Amino acid sequence: MKIFAAALGLAALAACTTAPAPETEATSSTPRAASLSAIGIGVSDLQASNTFYTEALGMEYVTEFKLSYMDEIVLRFPAGGSAIVLMEWTDGSERTLGSNGMKIVVRSPDPAAMADRIRAAGGEIIRYPEPVPEVGGAIVGFAKDPDGYLLELLPNL
């Protein structure tokens, strides 16, 4: 039942995305390519995480869902792209947060400024964005959100 409810929440998220361009005769028989709509992460304090991701990273509120066992807030960058779903379990079940071997990669016009905002919002800076010789001199930074999720900070392409 919980899996069905989560799938229902993601289906509702799909309804929040911008509508696709009208089909033309040339595209109507062509299947749409797959894409990543959102990724969800468990958080310990939904409102605190919402504040962190909106203030430090510049994401914007899309919608929220209240399920019988979980509350969710969906955020997306103003320019669009994939969303992040902040999920707080309300059923009392134990969850391991932030240490699941994952990272959230964020591109920004100014990764250093984003790192400064993350620090100001209470996030931890692991590595301030700077060129890394091992990856051809690309600018790479790392930070952690309030639940310990690793954020990789990269410049826009």
Q: What are the catalytic residues?
A: 152
By C-alpha distance, which of 100, 104, 110, 95 is closest to 123?
Answer: 104
Residue 120 CA: distances (Å) to CA of 66, 117, 143: 30, 5, 12
Phi-psi region of 26 (alpha: psi -120 to 50; beta: other; left: phi over 0): alpha
